Structure 1
Amino acid sequence: MHLIITRFASMLALLLVFLAPNVWADRYTQLESSLARINPDMKASSIAPTPMVGIYDVLLNTGDRLYMSADGEFFFAGTMYQNTSGASLVNLTEQSALGARLLAMQGPAAQQSWVFPAQGEKKATITVFTDVDCFYCQKLHAEMAAMNALGIEVKYLAFPRAGLGSPSYQVLVDSWCAENANEFLTEAKLRAHNKQAPQTSPQLCENPVIAHYTLGQEIGVNGTPAIVLDSGELWPGYLPANELAKRLGIL
């Protein structure tokens, strides 16, 4: 099942490449104008036709999704399903989101991460958007040894829920710039859990924290932890190591 989803998502991701802004901007000026009337800061990251005639799937720069008429006069937000006679119900919104996430997670921002490798044979990889002062992020991190022992490699991307420039943002920057980034991040989560003062900040360095945060917003992360699979699937929230392994098909 995961293989089928991955193949579909890969095909959809390639489609989205050809629908990049410089390709479709001239074709969908009415939709762009409609977005500007809603909010001048609202932009489309991608626009694609849907199976519903005259309705377009518009992915916003905020990670949200709208469905708009071709002239931009009407739009709605929500989940679109395809209910074809004799076939299973299809969640078109999730299919579209899957392809967009897969494409985004192949970009440069996601390639820079804290990596906690699997022990022995690597059986699965998960990418987790994390914060240091989030209780369930701390709880998930406490399962790190168990996840790694089950063959799960964990990659962390930064998502300071309080926003850029917040204290948690600074701790994530410090964690990246530390001599031993994994140890610093582990200690930061433990100290936050115990309500202790943050560690001494290392020398500032170039870091991907802003890029991670922006990526999370683009793919619709609105809380932490948020687990992204190689297929592009997004699992919000905490899962114990054994439950995670079962869902990944390891146990």
Structure 2
Amino acid sequence: MHLMITKFATAFTFIFALLAAHVWAGEYTEIKSSLARINPDLKASSIEVTPMFGIYNILLNNGDRIYMSADGEFFFAGTMYQNSFGENLVNITEQSSLKDRLVAMGSPAAQQAWVFPAQGERKATITIFTDIDCFYCQKLHAEMPAINALGIEVKYLAFPRAGIGSSSYQALVDSWCAKNANEFLTEAKLRSHNKQAPQASPKPCENPVLAHYTLGQQIGINGTPAIVFDSGELLPGYLPANELAKRLGIL
């Protein structure tokens, strides 16, 4: 019996290797064709093997994630878990998302950010995808002095929810191009909150707002504020300064 199991396992491994080799040799042709049948604009940003036999982890260009068979005939969306005997339950989907966010936060686009430095010793750094007109973005920004006082450095990336060319997009561009970018951004959020007219636009300049927005879409950001820790963990929505510090292990 042991010999039969061993032979079966060897054959199974061999078949999987052939299947993987076939997919690699075809540069995921079947998978890419399947995506095109769903929607011609749908592309794979990344394709990776999963622990599930014959199933591939696909990050789409719209930020969504799906799982697809090697031949492209079957796919499903949702969270994949690994439930191995004697082991803790593993969220395979979140592991992939963490990795993707870490890569994104190390990209050139993410390095161009509004930075609100920590006061005194810097104990943590967070990156926040933000908008001008978002109520909870405004609420979070109002707590910036308290956040910084706790030793938290905040890096802002632009995510105009209304899209490219919208008034909030222009306000973010203006905030980047302003002589004092941080002050302009703060005033822009305050004016939006108080329903006041926007500030006069400064001289146009090269800016990363489009790159920020595209980056956010690629990693599945669909609302603001979206807080990303250095670990890659994503917290969607607002948190008060003290709660944020607790999540970071500072308090």
- TM-score normalised per structure 1: 0.90
How far residue 30 of structure 1 moved from its aligned partner, in angstroms, is 0.5
Report 1:155-234 matches (<5 A): 155-234=155-234
Specify the SS of the correspondent of 2:188: helix
User: What percentage of residue pairs aligned between the two structures are identical?
Assistant: 81
How far residue 232 of structure 1 moved from its aligned partner, in angstroms, is 1.0
Q: Cα deviations across residues 60-80 of structure 1 (Å, max 9, x unaligned)?
A: 011100100010010000000
Query: Higher Cα Rg: structure 1 or 2?
Result: 2
CA distance in 2, matches of 1:25, 1:145: 54
Residue of structure 1 in register with 2:65 after alignment: 65
Q: Residue 28 in 1 paired to residue 16 in 2?
A: no
Equivalent position amino acid for 1:53 in 2: F
Structure 1 residues 80, 139: closer, same or farther in 2, change over 3 A?
same
Q: Cα deviations across residues 88-128 of structure 1 (Å, max 9, x unaligned)?
A: 11100000111111111111000000000000000000000
Residue of structure 2 in register with 1:120 after alignment: 120
CA distance in 1, matches of 2:208, 2:154: 17
Count, aligned residues: 229
CA distance in 2, matches of 1:184, 1:202: 10
Specify the SS of the correspondent of 2:71: coil
How far residue 25 of structure 1 moved from its aligned partner, in angstroms, is 8.6
Equivalent position amino acid for 2:181 in 1: A
Residue of structure 1 in register with 2:244 after alignment: 244
Residue of structure 1 in register with 2:104 after alignment: 104
Specify the SS of the correspondent of 1:125: strand
Structure 1 residues 142, 119: closer, same or farther in 2, change over 3 A?
same
CA distance in 1, matches of 2:247, 2:200: 39
Equivalent position amino acid for 2:33 in 1: S
Residue of structure 2 in register with 1:136 after alignment: 136
Residue of structure 1 in register with 2:151 after alignment: 151
CA distance in 2, matches of 1:156, 1:181: 11
How far residue 231 of structure 1 moved from its aligned partner, in angstroms, is 1.2
Residue of structure 1 in register with 2:45 after alignment: 45
Residue of structure 1 in register with 2:94 after alignment: 94
How far residue 85 of structure 1 moved from its aligned partner, in angstroms, is 1.3
Give the CA RMSD over aligned residues.
Answer: 1.1
Specify the SS of the correspondent of 1:33: helix
CA distance in 1, matches of 2:127, 2:86: 37
Q: Cα deviations across residues 141-172 of structure 1 (Å, max 9, x unaligned)?
A: 01100000000000000000000000000000
CA distance in 2, matches of 1:109, 1:129: 12
Equivalent position amino acid for 1:41 in 2: D
How far residue 27 of structure 1 moved from its aligned partner, in angstroms, is 2.4
Specify the SS of the correspondent of 1:68: strand
Residue of structure 1 in register with 2:3 after alignment: none
Specify the SS of the correspondent of 1:203: coil
CA distance in 1, matches of 2:54, 2:135: 45
Structure 1 segments, 4+ long, off by >2 Å, are 24-27
CA distance in 2, matches of 1:46, 1:184: 37
Q: Cα deviations across residues 207-236 of structure 1 (Å, max 9, x unaligned)?
A: 000000000000110000000111111110
Q: Cα deviations across residues 25-69 of structure 1 (Å, max 9, x unaligned)?
A: 942110000000000100001001100000000000111001000
Structure 1 residues 25, 184: closer, same or farther in 2, change over 3 A?
farther
Gaps of 5+ in 2: 1-23
Equivalent position amino acid for 2:159 in 1: F
